[in-house]
Chains A and B, each alone.
Chain A
Amino acid sequence: DIQLTQSPSFLSASIGDRVTITCRASQGINNFLAWYQQKPGKAPKLLINAASTLQSGVPSRFSGSGSGTEFTLTISSLQPEDFATYYCQQLNSYPLTFGGGTKVEIK
């Protein structure tokens, strides 16, 4: 099975900060990676597919990059509504797997 390691697991940031979350795969997965945002008590929301393709309606301050085993999710200027937990998911092969999550909190 492909393991995904997200870092950091927790980060504290201020409004307007640039935030970067890393997701590392235990083996190469090309660009078969998705990113989700989950707010407390809510279902996750797909942000990015194919490592860097922004879903319709997702603000352009979100971006994804990477290929192979290392990927990043970047929020260029953190907004109040961005405080949430973020997960990566590999889509390369079954069983599909998620990273452990990164909780972004207000500093």
Chain B
Amino acid sequence: EVQLLESGGGLVQPGGSLRLSCAASGFSFSSSAMSWVRQAPGKGLEWVSSISGSGTSTYYADPVKGRFTISRDSSKNTLYVQLNSLRAGDTAVYYCTKGGTYSDSWGQGTLVTVSS
């Protein structure tokens, strides 16, 4: 059974940083592209970033390009996203998903709140 467990969310001030982690199990992590998708409170889904299975290719949504960095550690079966220069508009539940395009499995999400 595929399991994705996010962690690292919390309250951060504008301009601050956070690193989100996603521990993956139940599938071949090293050969699976992965993604982050976020959802602001009461709003729709927004794709954030994707990374290839090898980690050599990464893709970002325009609003986060230059501020967020996706990465992975296949020795730990863990996906990461470093969130820098955070803004109020980045407040959302961040979901880790399996897949580089469509997301066939999702974690439970971790809430990031950007507020002073």
Residues of A participating in the B interface, judged by any CB pair closer than 8 Å = 1, 32, 34, 36, 38, 43-46, 49, 55, 87, 89, 91, 94-101
Q: Pick 16 A–B contacts, CB within 8 A, sort by A.
A: A34-B101, A34-B103, A43-B95, A44-B45, A46-B104, A87-B44, A89-B47, A95-B61, A96-B35, A96-B50, A96-B59, A98-B45, A98-B46, A99-B44, A100-B44, A101-B45
> Binary interface profile of B, 36-68, with partner A (CB < 8 Å = 1, else 0)?
010000001111001000000001111000000
Residues of A within 8 A of B62 (CB): 1, 95
**Which residues 60-116 of B have a CB within 8 angstroms of A?**
60-62, 95, 101-109
User: B44 contacts which of A49, A94, A101 (Cβ < 8 Å)?
Assistant: A101
Residues of A within 8 A of B46 (CB): 98
User: A46 contacts which of B44, B50, B103 (Cβ < 8 Å)?
Assistant: B103
Residues of B in contact, count (CB < 8 Å): 21
User: B102 contacts which of A49, A94, A95, A99 (Cβ < 8 Å)?
Assistant: A49
Q: How far is the CB of A78 from chain B (nearest CB, A)?
A: 22
Residues of B within 8 A of A1 (CB): 62
Residues of B within 8 A of A36 (CB): 45, 103
CA distance A81 to B56 in the complex (A): 41
Q: How far is the CB of A7 from chain B (nearest CB, A)?
A: 14
Known contacts being A43-B95, A94-B59, is A55 close to B45, with CB within 8 Å? no
CA distance A97 to B45 in the complex (A): 9
Q: Which of A38, A55, A95 has the most CB of B within 10 A?
A: A95
Known contacts being A94-B59, A95-B59, is A55 close to B104, with CB within 8 Å? yes
User: B109 contacts which of A43, A95, A96, A99 (Cβ < 8 Å)?
Assistant: A43
Q: Which residue of B lies closest to A44 (CB)?
A: B106
CA distance A87 to B101 in the complex (A): 14
Known contacts being A95-B61, A98-B46, is A34 close to B95, with CB within 8 Å? no
Q: How far is the CB of B101 from chain A (nearest CB, A)?
A: 4
Inter-chain pairs besides A43-B108, A43-B109, A95-B59, 6 sampled, C-beta below 8 Å: A38-B45, A44-B37, A94-B50, A95-B61, A96-B50, A101-B44
